[in-house]
Structure 1
Amino acid sequence: MTQTVTKTTIKVAQWATGGVGQAAMQDVLAHPDLELVGAWVHSAEKHGKDVGEFIGSGPVGIVATTDQDEIINGDADCVVYSPLMPIESEVVALLRAGKNVVTPVGWVYPDPATTGAIEAACEEGNSTLHGTGIHPGGITERFPLMVSALSAGVTHVRSEEFSDIRTYGAPDVIRHIMAFGATPEEAKAGPIVGLLGGGFKQSVRMIAHEMGFDIDPELTTIHEVAVATQGIDSPIGVIEPGLVAGQRFSWQARVNGVPVITATVNWLMGEAHLDPAWEIGVEGERFEVEVTGDPSVKLTFKGLQPETIEEGLIRNPGVVSTANHCVSAIPYVVAAGPGIKTYLDLPLIAGRAAPGLAR
């Protein structure tokens, strides 16, 4: 007699429905093993609306709520947690209530000295937390580690992003958090270096730990800016001469002062009228992973940035990929034991076949 195997559907709730949250809900709805069962929203204007309105589809039968307890005490097996800024108490509450959490806003490779409350909540709720994303959260550590297996005697690992930030449809973030259009002094004193560094430093340390580099105790942070030499049209209006129109961030792990791991972000308001005259280059927008060793290997990711500014403002592939990386991880995270699980703790994570092609 043939035994019938019943596939268990994983119930998923979305926490915050900005760009990443909207893309995550689309991915959950298309995923053969997942079911969307709830959505928390920050804005009162979204409360009570069918989330289909947020993702441009017809009604999907899920009503958004501003009541956090509805998600915390609901029946979701996993929550995709994607607010603009993480709030640890929210994550602790979800984990304590037995909700697995996948997030692109932290905990890629956290310092155990800082995660006592998280670990206790995971133990109490028999739940799992996994930090993921794209950069950091993928390009910066997952893929360099995979590529490094092709080399021996590795002396340097580099991950680097080259993006035209005019394609990013979040003007408030661009102006007030990223500090584009500010003076160089304001950008240097702003929050962005610290916010980015919290994630990228974890990525760099993950690589150092797994590959066995005996790195110096302190990581090196480098922040450079380029200013407009004439007015540059942008999503936040015209950037006037002398104001910030390009930024480069790098985080390095060094051994005896020599860089061995480098993670770099290049964000430019186009390639014209910048001082210094930075360029994205003839290869266009891209992510690069390079491992220097025997042999050296270089991998270029295309397709994670839009073809045009207009396309990016409608649906940015980098935002979508960030969401997809979260959603793809859900079955693996739900199956894992309690605690914080990084890429080093989980099996290989894969996407799923399109609905019409899935078994």
Structure 2
Amino acid sequence: MTYRVVQWATGNLGRAAIEGIVSHPDLELVGVWVHSKEKVGKDAGELAQRPDLITGIKATNDIDTLIALQPDCILYSPLMPIEEEIVRFLQAGINVVTPLGWFYPKHLNTTAIEAACKQGNTTLHGTGIHPGGVTEKWPLIMSGFSRDVTYVSCEEYSDCRTYGAPDVLHEIMLFGKTPEQAKDSFMLQFLGAGFGQSVTMIADAMGFTLDGPLLATHEVALATAPIDTPMGIIEPGLIAAQRFRWQGLVNGEPVIKAETNWYMGTDNIETDWFDAKVIADRGECFAMTVDADPPVYITTHGIHPTRDMDWAEVQKRNPGMVATAMHCVNSIPVVCAAGPGIKTYLDLPIVVGKAKVN
């Protein structure tokens, strides 16, 4: 069966998603939503920055036009989610896959979404990479090879110089800001809305009874000399590296940790929690740990850019963004086949990629 799909938004992730949908043998791209008027009417292939890919699908910024297409699924990936839009899709009989939340919404108010799923006989699935994929899926899979688990963690190490969105780097991700500005940032709470779900999912799946609210911390490291970045020079004394951490505690001791480490290279950054040598030697990666009998430790590469890549090209098509997009795209067939409601990957069959079709 071929599922008809609309791609909602054409940023870094959306461009990769268009490629993925078009190449997936079980999917058909039938519509594309764009935010800016300048993109309206352009071919999806052009928006994906693939001039060789002529799809015949013209972009629109009219939600009614896309709903009228009666797609099986919308891959919903704007910069920020609008729940009212998601509810409208679900009510209209359109399944939704999104990397923007609802990975494991145990502690969220999902009354409106659940009602919409029931009305439209539809499914909402939150997925992605970190959180929503690597953070919890990989450690849980690894734990299946062990017994008596005592500690689980997943850490991300990402050089943000490869991220081609200067405004986001500075205004949202805080790079180049002062330590005082970081203290007033919404980022710990904003990111915690997703990573908290990851920690809760692991706790529930493995049987940990957590003490209560997660321990959330945000640490920064400052530039010690000017650092050249895609958003301009970061001057000494301004933020050049950050660590966000969420920990689930049992009897006051950490048993589950989700962590993300962002940095602008490894040179000229003050050393404290930021171990520049270790990070430089290991490179960008996800590092996962399951302390158990036997213990399992895995460091994964490939999703992050490598040092020999053309960084100008990476900023246009970051492998991490491609991986996030493809986790969404590859989820669409199993989501469309699922029953109504909010479904996590604990509720769904295994999601797999597809062989290349020549």
Same fold (TM over 0.5): yes
**Cα distance in 2 for residues equivalent to 1:28 and 1:314:** 18
The aligned counterpart of 2:8 is 15
Amino acid in the other structure paired with 1:216: D
The aligned counterpart of 2:322 is 320
Q: How does 1:22-33 map onto structure 2 within 5 Å?
A: 22-33=15-26
Unpaired runs of 5+ residues, structure 2, are: none
The aligned counterpart of 1:204 is 199
**Cα distance in 2 for residues equivalent to 1:174 and 1:214:** 36
Compute the displacement of 1:112 (Å): 5.5
**Cα distance in 2 for residues equivalent to 1:63 and 1:165:** 32
CA distances 1:128-186 after superposition (whole Å, capped 9, x unpaired):
00000010011111111100111111000010001101011111111111111110111
Count of aligned positions:
349
The aligned counterpart of 2:140 is 145
Compute the displacement of 1:281 (Å): 3.7
The aligned counterpart of 1:292 is 291
Compute the displacement of 1:20 (Å): 0.5
Amino acid in the other structure paired with 2:235: E
CA distances 1:5-54 after superposition (whole Å, capped 9, x unpaired):
xxx21000001110111101100000001000001111111011111111
Amino acid in the other structure paired with 1:323: A
Compute the displacement of 1:217 (Å): 1.2
- 1:93 alignment partner, one of 88, 93, 96: 88
**What value does the CA root-mean-square deviation take over the aligned residues?**
1.1
Compute the displacement of 1:251 (Å): 0.3
CA distances 1:291-341 after superposition (whole Å, capped 9, x unpaired):
001011011110011124334213100000000000000000000000000
Q: How does 1:227-306 map onto structure 2 within 5 Å?
A: 227-276=222-271, 278=274, 279=276, 280-306=279-305
The aligned counterpart of 1:103 is 98
Q: Work out whether residues 97 and 125 of structure 2, in 8 Å CA contact, stay in contact via their aligned partners in 1.
A: yes
Amino acid in the other structure paired with 1:236: M
Compute the displacement of 1:347 (Å): 1.1
Q: Work out whether residues 18 and 45 of structure 2, in 8 Å CA contact, stay in contact via their aligned partners in 1.
A: no
Q: Work out whether residues 121 and 339 of structure 2, in 8 Å CA contact, stay in contact via their aligned partners in 1.
A: yes
Residue 355 of structure 1 aligns to a residue whose secondary structure is coil
The aligned counterpart of 2:31 is 38
Compute the displacement of 1:113 (Å): 4.9
Amino acid in the other structure paired with 2:147: A
Identity %: 56
- In the alignment, is residue 116 of structure 1 matched against residue 116 of structure 2? no
**Cα distance in 1 for residues equivalent to 2:321 and 2:347:** 25
Amino acid in the other structure paired with 1:303: G
Provide runs of 4+ in structure 1 moved above 6 Å. none
**Cα distance in 1 for residues equivalent to 2:106 and 2:149:** 25
The aligned counterpart of 1:5 is none
**Cα distance in 2 for residues equivalent to 1:228 and 1:256:** 37
The aligned counterpart of 1:3 is none
Residue 70 of structure 1 aligns to a residue whose secondary structure is helix
Amino acid in the other structure paired with 2:283: G
Q: Work out whether residues 171 and 236 of structure 1, in 8 Å CA contact, stay in contact via their aligned partners in 2.
A: yes
The aligned counterpart of 1:349 is 351
Amino acid in the other structure paired with 2:35: H
**Cα distance in 2 for residues equivalent to 1:182 and 1:233:** 15
The aligned counterpart of 1:57 is 51
Instruction: Give the TM-score of the pair, scaled to structure 2.
Output: 0.95
- 1:48 alignment partner, one of 18, 31, 41: 41
**Cα distance in 1 for residues equivalent to 2:234 and 2:246:** 27
Instruction: Give the TM-score of the pair, scaled to structure 1.
Output: 0.95
CA 1:220–1:270 in 2, change beyond 3 Å: closer, same or farther? same
**Cα distance in 2 for residues equivalent to 1:69 and 1:216:** 46
Residue 240 of structure 2 aligns to a residue whose secondary structure is strand
Residue 229 of structure 2 aligns to a residue whose secondary structure is coil
Amino acid in the other structure paired with 1:266: N
CA 1:54–1:113 in 2, change beyond 3 Å: closer, same or farther? closer
Compute the displacement of 1:68 (Å): 1.3
Residue 95 of structure 1 aligns to a residue whose secondary structure is helix
Compute the displacement of 1:206 (Å): 0.3
Q: Work out whether residues 31 and 66 of structure 2, in 8 Å CA contact, stay in contact via their aligned partners in 1.
A: yes
Compute the displacement of 1:354 (Å): 0.6
Unpaired runs of 5+ residues, structure 1, are: 1-7
CA distances 1:185-207 after superposition (whole Å, capped 9, x unpaired):
11221222122111000000000
